[in-house]
Chain A
């Protein structure tokens, strides 16, 4: 009973559904929730699942495989070429630097064979793409300098796995003998045969993708069956993984290459959309697997070694990353974030260690210990980031910037307009104002953007607009207009509240993410809110009306009327929704309001509530007269 697939699935899903919301509620990342879910249901706490978590890992590795497929998909050669300097430069520095330092440190302190030391150094150097990318996505850091550098370094590591795995067989000299290892079909061939086979397989994936898969997808696409396309996408990823496993290579790697091959085919976006939901779920499973696979007996057998080793290797990675960031002239807060984020070891560590065990390169006990080290470092990352966010970053970021800032506040004139948030939304506003000779003071969180904006002559303050000192430094006391355009709606709302409270004289224009966000703004007394998608959506709708045969001016007037009507409806509903006693979940609320709106649309005189330029009435009256 307990072994049934259904039971297992229920355990996993239940653990995730319970732990992840708790983690979120506590302000932790979802990854931590998954990891703890894994630890709790794992063999060492509740023992609800798998012998040592290994089986799960095999299955859940698929999440990583799909993630790499998606990363490969996003990486069309053109983008790769544009980022080549950062990818190769930063990536190479990090990889070689970390391997060298780890190798030297381990050689001095621990008396392992040099092959073992090298394998372990290589395995630990690779950071966890899964954890870092997920974290970056969750924290909305994709567009920051830290996000871009992390992506570049991770990408280089992901690519570096290919040669690393190819080299491993050459290191093996058979001095270690492990029993009970799963064997790939090539593992008992001599090393000089294995290496060409490995490269050959990669070549097959590349050529196969180009000359077999793409034409196949064309045929599938012609059937116009969505589910068939999803099936082919899954088949593709699984097929490549299987092939890679046959030759003892990482499936993730194969998927990554396959993704890259398909990156500039026309199916890119469709494949992305089809795979993404599977990826999310399986990645969660993967994190649960990592949690479950932490072998506590092994850790407890020699806790000092594991903990000290984890700490030391994490610090080494951290400082090498810090140095790399320095070389690439990162501002210190971005650099800290970057170094903390990438300081763990990752899923490829498991892959390399596993492969090395198969090759008899490394004793299996040591390999298990190292896997525990990797798992611990993965669990630790979200905490490190939390520590950085709460204690280290504010201290650093503020200190460095303020000393600079003191100078430019004193003698410069204050601007009448303050813009908080200079992403796509805010920068458009800033440009429009600047083009009309109205200078604006900008507050932004991305220190690199701040630097480049300064060079372009904007008056920019770096930092969290939620800090009162920053608002003061930006000249809110003497400004006239405050534009709240921060990407994160919750942060934006808080800033508006702060400004309303401390600078009531300021005229506030606020960006609203969606209707719910607009309601919240109305609740705190903001009348001038701008839903970021209303206007472009109506614009598009107008063009669609024109395409359907309406005259452009008529369609435009309909669009204007619709905007006015919708703005009124938003204001009305903002008040109405408080009548409800029960506090609904926000999505439920959204749906309910959507329904209400659509119902009201039926009654509103949206079509012709005037008769401008119409002559029907006139004709009728004339006829009556005759």
Chain B
């Protein structure tokens, strides 16, 4: 049985983003994949909590797809986290609605991959920086996968966009149809690497 994927996409200036445009274009056209554009749905940050929770319940895998701004997510996604992941529903003693679901972050960064290390300009690795999101998922009893990252979008050519977009599409296709080996996850920093091993 295929897995149902909910892509929560948050980009305040999507029309100007080449990398994300190609990524979104590569999302497989499947009844099991729901693309949910938060800035399109809630331009005034007035999130319909009930509706979002219903959507979550209907899916097995949740993707937070967003550009990385100031080592974090765009504000609407944070608003979504604040409002939708309610105590007593997503976490807390009775909050078990999300238990066992997978959570994947799909990020784009303008800066190159080599900057994200102790000696680089950004001083921390992506998993280190995304620790708050990982922890959020843990509190909600979800399984946080290593992030899928497209680095260096500021200096990328058309070919680069295309390759990353296709990889994103393939990854979603894989998630839809195949079981993810959770035990192997600790071996990978990026989900890109895990997928690469599966593609060959």
A610 x B83 contact (CB < 8 A)? yes
B114 interface hit (Cβ, 8 Å): no
Let me know if B93 and A611 touch, CB within 8 A. Answer: no
CB of A617 closer than 8 Å to a CB of B: yes
Which residue on B lies nearest to A612, using beta carbons?
A: B83
CB neighbours (8 Å) of B93 from chain A are 621
Cα separation A466 to B148 with both chains bound (whole Å): 56
Interface hits, B51-95 → A, CB 8 Å: 82-83, 86-88, 92-93
In the complex, residue of chain B having the shortest beta-carbon distance to the beta carbon of A561:
B46
Summarize A's interface: helix, strand, loop or mixed: helix
CB contacts (< 8 Å) of B87 on chain A: these are 611, 617-618, 621
0 or 1 for each of B24-61: is its CB under 8 Å from A? (1 = yes): 00000000000000000000101001000000000000
Q: Is the CB–CB distance between B86 and A560 below 8 Å?
A: no
Interface string of B100-142 (1 = CB under 8 A from A): 0000000000000000000000000000000000000000000
* Contact B82–A618 (Cβ < 8 Å): no
| A618 neighbours in B (Cβ, 8 Å) | 87, 92
- Size class of B's contact patch? 10 to 19
Which residue of B is nearest A557, CB measured? Answer: B46
- Within the complex, what minimum Cβ distance (angstroms) separates B89 from chain A? 10
- A603: chain B residues at CB < 8 Å are none
Contact with B along A518-562 (1 / 0, CB 8 A): 000000000000000000000000000000000000000100110
Is the CB–CB distance between A613 and B46 below 8 Å? Answer: no
**Residues from chain B with Cβ under 8 Å of A611 in the complex:** 86-87
Q: Are A613 and B92 in contact (CB under 8 A)?
A: no
- Determine if A564 and B92 form an interchain contact, defined as CB atoms under 8 angstroms apart: no
Residues of A within 8 A of B46 (CB): 557, 560-561, 564
Quick one: closest A residue to B48, CB to CB? A564
Total A-B residue pairs with C-beta atoms closer than 8 Å? 23
Interface size of A in residues (CB-CB distance below 8 Å): 11
Docked complex: A543-599 residues within 8 A CB-CB of B: 557, 560-561, 564
A164 → chain B, closest Cβ, in Å? 61
Complex alpha-carbon distance, A611 and B92, angstroms: 14
When the two chains form their complex, are residues A621 and B92 in contact, meaning their CB atoms are under 8 A apart?
A: yes
What is the CB-to-nearest-CB distance from A83 to chain B, in angstroms, rounded to a whole number? 42
Q: In the bound complex, do residue B83 and residue A617 qualify as a contact, i.e. CB atoms below 8 Å apart?
A: no
CB-defined contacts of B88 to chain A, threshold 8 Å:
617
Inside 8 A of A564's CB, which chain B residues have their CB? 46
A617 — which chain B residues lie within 8 A by C-beta? 87-88, 92
With a cutoff of 8 Å between Cβ atoms, the chain B residues found around residue A621 in the complex are 87, 92-93
Roughly how many angstroms separate A610 CA and B89 CA in the complex, as a whole number?
Answer: 11
Q: Would A610 and B49 count as touching, CB distance under 8 A?
A: yes
* Chain B 126-169 interface mask (CB, 8 Å, partner A; 1/0): 00000000000000000000000000000000000000000000
A618 and B44 alpha carbons, distance in the complex (Å): 28
Residues of A within 8 A of B92 (CB): 617-618, 621
Q: When the two chains form their complex, are residues A613 and B82 in contact, meaning their CB atoms are under 8 A apart?
A: yes
CA gap between A557 and B47 in the complex, in Å = 10
Complex partner residue of A560 from B44, B49, B82, B83, CB under 8 angstroms:
B44
B82 — which chain A residues lie within 8 A by C-beta? 612-613
451-500 of chain A: CB within 8 A of chain B: none
| Closest Cβ neighbor of A615 among chain B residues | B87
Return A567 CB to nearest CB of chain B, in Å: 12
Nearest-neighbour CB distance to chain B for A166, whole angstroms, equals 64
Interface centre among B46, B49, B88, B93 (most CB of A within 10 A): B46
Closest Cβ neighbor of B86 among chain A residues: A611
Taking the closest CB of chain A, its distance from the CB of B17, in whole angstroms, is: 20
A94 to chain B minimum Cβ distance, whole angstroms, is 54
* A residues in contact with B83, CB < 8 Å: 610, 612
Write the nearest CB–CB distance from A438 to chain B, whole angstroms.
15
Q: Give the chain A neighbours of B86 by CB distance below 8 A.
A: 610-612
Give Cα A612 to B85, complex, Å. Answer: 9
A611 to B83 Cα, complex, angstroms:
8
| CB of A554, distance to nearest CB on chain B (Å) | 13
> Taking the nearest CB of chain B, how far is it from the CB of A600, in angstroms?
18
Cα–Cα, bound, A264→B41 (Å)? 50
Alpha-carbon separation in the docked complex, A613 to B49 (Å): 13
B55 to chain A, nearest CB (A): 16
**A564 and chain B: residue at smallest CB distance:** B46
Q: What residue in chain B is nearest A618 (Cβ atoms)?
A: B87
Residue from A560, A564, A612, A618 with most neighbouring chain B CB atoms (10 Å): A612
Q: How far is the CB of B178 from chain A (nearest CB, A)?
A: 36
Interfacial chain B residues near A557, Cβ < 8 Å: 46
> How many Å lie between the Cα of A327 and that of B44 in the bound state?
53
Q: Which residues of A contact B44 (CB under 8 A)?
A: 560
Residue of B nearest to A613 (CB): B82
The CA of A613 and the CA of B88, in the complex, are separated in Å by: 13
- A98 CB → nearest B CB, Å: 59
10 interchain pairs (CB within 8 A)? A561-B46, A564-B46, A610-B49, A612-B49, A612-B82, A613-B82, A617-B87, A617-B88, A617-B92, A618-B92
**Smallest CB-CB A-B distances: 10 pairs:** A560-B46, A612-B83, A617-B87, A610-B49, A618-B87, A621-B92, A612-B82, A617-B88, A621-B93, A560-B44
Query: Interface residues, chain B, CB within 8 Å of chain A?
Result: 44, 46, 49, 82-83, 86-88, 92-93
> Given contacts A610-B49, A611-B86, A612-B49, could you give 13 more A-B pairs where the C-beta distance is less than 8 Å?
A557-B46, A561-B46, A564-B46, A610-B86, A611-B87, A612-B82, A612-B86, A613-B82, A617-B88, A618-B87, A618-B92, A621-B87, A621-B92
